[in-house]
Amino acid sequence: MKTLVNLHRKLTPRLAERLHSCLNSARAPAPRVWPVAVIECIERLLRLETKAHSRGWFAAAAIVRSQLQSALTDLQERLAQLRSQVDLQPPSTSSLRDLIADINALQSEFEQVEVNLSTSTLAVTTRPIVLEDVFLGPFKIALSFSAGQSSTSYTVTALEPHPAASDDAITHPHIQDGHLCEGEGRLPLQRALEDGRIFDVFQIIQQILTTYNSGSAYVSLDDWHGVPCVTCGMSTSDDERTSCQLTGEMLCWECAVSCSDCERTLAPDRTECCSECDDQFCSACLDQGICHACQDEIETEAESVLPAGANAPVHAVCLEQTALSTGPG
Amino acid sequence: MKIFLINNDGAGFADTQELSEGTTIQALFAKTVPHGRPEDYLIRLNRGPVAADYVLQDGDRVSITPTKIEGATIRC
């Protein structure tokens, strides 16, 4: 540890210098433009106006005066713009001393601090992060910058990934493919980066990592370990599952079955096959094992098989039986 | 006296502040984040922890960072 501390003491000032150079490059003012062309135009118009008056060309002088007015207005606007550029003070960047103090202070705030001159990277390791009893592990926050270049960037990497069951690329509810969605932290983080407040940069990112926004997560913590399908046991995410409309149990789309009559989504063990057509139905759509459509068909067929007059009363004589007298005997 | 105040709440800002002698960290917080509770913030003096009754000195650097900063997804 002592060696590490000594190493940091040697490397930190050099890294701070590189970072300071990078931040200052970002603050170089935009080139100032002196309106030479407009001024030359005004000078020429002034000469023309004088000449026109001296020769009595009053109509021409009037035209030149109008052009002069336009040019002077243009010059006023350009000078006002230049004035506002000069007056606008760039936000003060951290001094070299501040940067060194920030880097040194990180050691008491984070588990581990790494200074890498070869890659111009400053990295910290957070404590293991647990959100709502879901263990996500420690994360490494690495800030990269290059001397002479004006941009800094950071990455957040899970060191012991415990990703969402549905997507390996989601190692934190607000990290996908290594990209942290800053949400509320975007503006203060941007300001801290612009100002070179390195300690604040890392602290803000850490607070984002340790806060769960259930309303805007790539995968909610409730679903982090997935929800098993009640039939096959496969872990499912939100868009991979539905539920049985009889029991409310979670089902993957592969296992879910639809009643061929009422079209309700059901678990396979909540359906039965019609003994006639073999299609699957819920129990409410079967009558003695036969679906309504098949029952109707059976009834229709039965009616068409019966001969004409089958329902007429049977006369005794037709059956070769002696008719019995119906009078008194 | 002047201190350097960093407020990482909301849009965030960092600027020097003119304060009267004897102002404590607690008083500064109440003035800076009037509707906030100190326990919901990381309050650092010169990059280290500080007691609420600490009396600020000229040149001190104070940062106030919410403990909860919500990330997002599609809004990014």
What integer is the mean pLDDT of A143-159? 77
Residue with tokens 């106006």: A49
Top residue of A136, A180, A202, A213 to mutate, by most chain B CBs within 10 Å, is A213
Answer yes or no: do A81 and A100 share one domain: no
- Write the pLDDT tens digit of every residue in A20-55: 877 777 666 667 888 999 999 999 999 999 999 999
Identify the domain containing residue A189 by its residue range: 11-22+94-216
What ipTM does this complex have?
A: 0.93
Asked if A204's CB is within 8 angstroms of B65's CB, the reply is yes
Chain A nearest-CA distance from B60, in A, is 12
Instruction: Indicate whether A152 belongs to any domain.
Output: yes
Pair (A115, A78) in one structural domain: no
Domain contains A224: no
Measured N-to-C along each axis, helices A2-26 and A96-109 cross at an angle, to the nearest 10 degrees, of 130
Domain extent at residue B39: 2-66
Please report, for residues A44, B2, B27, B60, B76, the alpha-carbon distance to residue B18 in angstroms, rounded to integers and kept in the order given.
53, 5, 13, 11, 36
Digitized pLDDT (tens) for each residue of chain B, 76 residues in all:
999 999 999 877 888 999 999 999 999 999 999 999 999 999 999 999 999 999 999 999 999 999 999 988 754 4
pLDDT in tens, A254-289: 999 999 999 999 999 999 999 999 999 999 999 999
B9 near A CB under 8 A? yes
Of the pLDDT bands very low, low, confident and very high (cuts 50, 70, 90), residue A117 is confident
Substitution target from B5, B46, B73, B74 for chain A, most A beta carbons within 10 A: B73
Mapped to the 3 state alphabet, what secondary structure does B11-56 carry? CCEEEEEECCCCCEHHHHHHHHCCCCCHHHEEEEECCEECCCCCEC
Residue of chain A with shortest Cα separation from B69: A208
Contact predicate B45/B24, CB 8 Å: no
Chain A within 8 Å of B59 (Cβ-Cβ)? Answer: no
B16 falls within a domain? yes
> Is B8 inside any structural domain?
yes
- pLDDT tens track for A287-316: 999 999 999 998 888 888 766 555 555 555
Phi/psi for A228 (5° steps) reads -75, 145
Output the six-digit token pair for A284: 């409410």
- CA dist A65 → A18, A54, A68, A195 (Å): 56, 14, 5, 50
- On whether residue B11 sits in a domain, the answer given is yes
From chain A, pick out residues whose CB is under 8 angstroms from the CB of B62.
none
Chain B, nearest residue to A198 by Cα: B47
Predicted pLDDT at A308: 55
Nearest to A274 by CA among A257, A287, A255: A287
CA angle A101, A185, A214 (to 5 degrees): 135
pLDDT at A327 over 50: no
Residue B60 belongs to a domain: yes
Structurally, chain B folds into a number of domains equal to: 1
The full DSSP string for A49-95 is HHHHHHTT-HHHHHHHHHHHHHHHHHHHHHHHHHHHHHH-PPPPPPP
pTM reported for the whole predicted model:
0.66
Write the CATH number for A182: 3.10.110
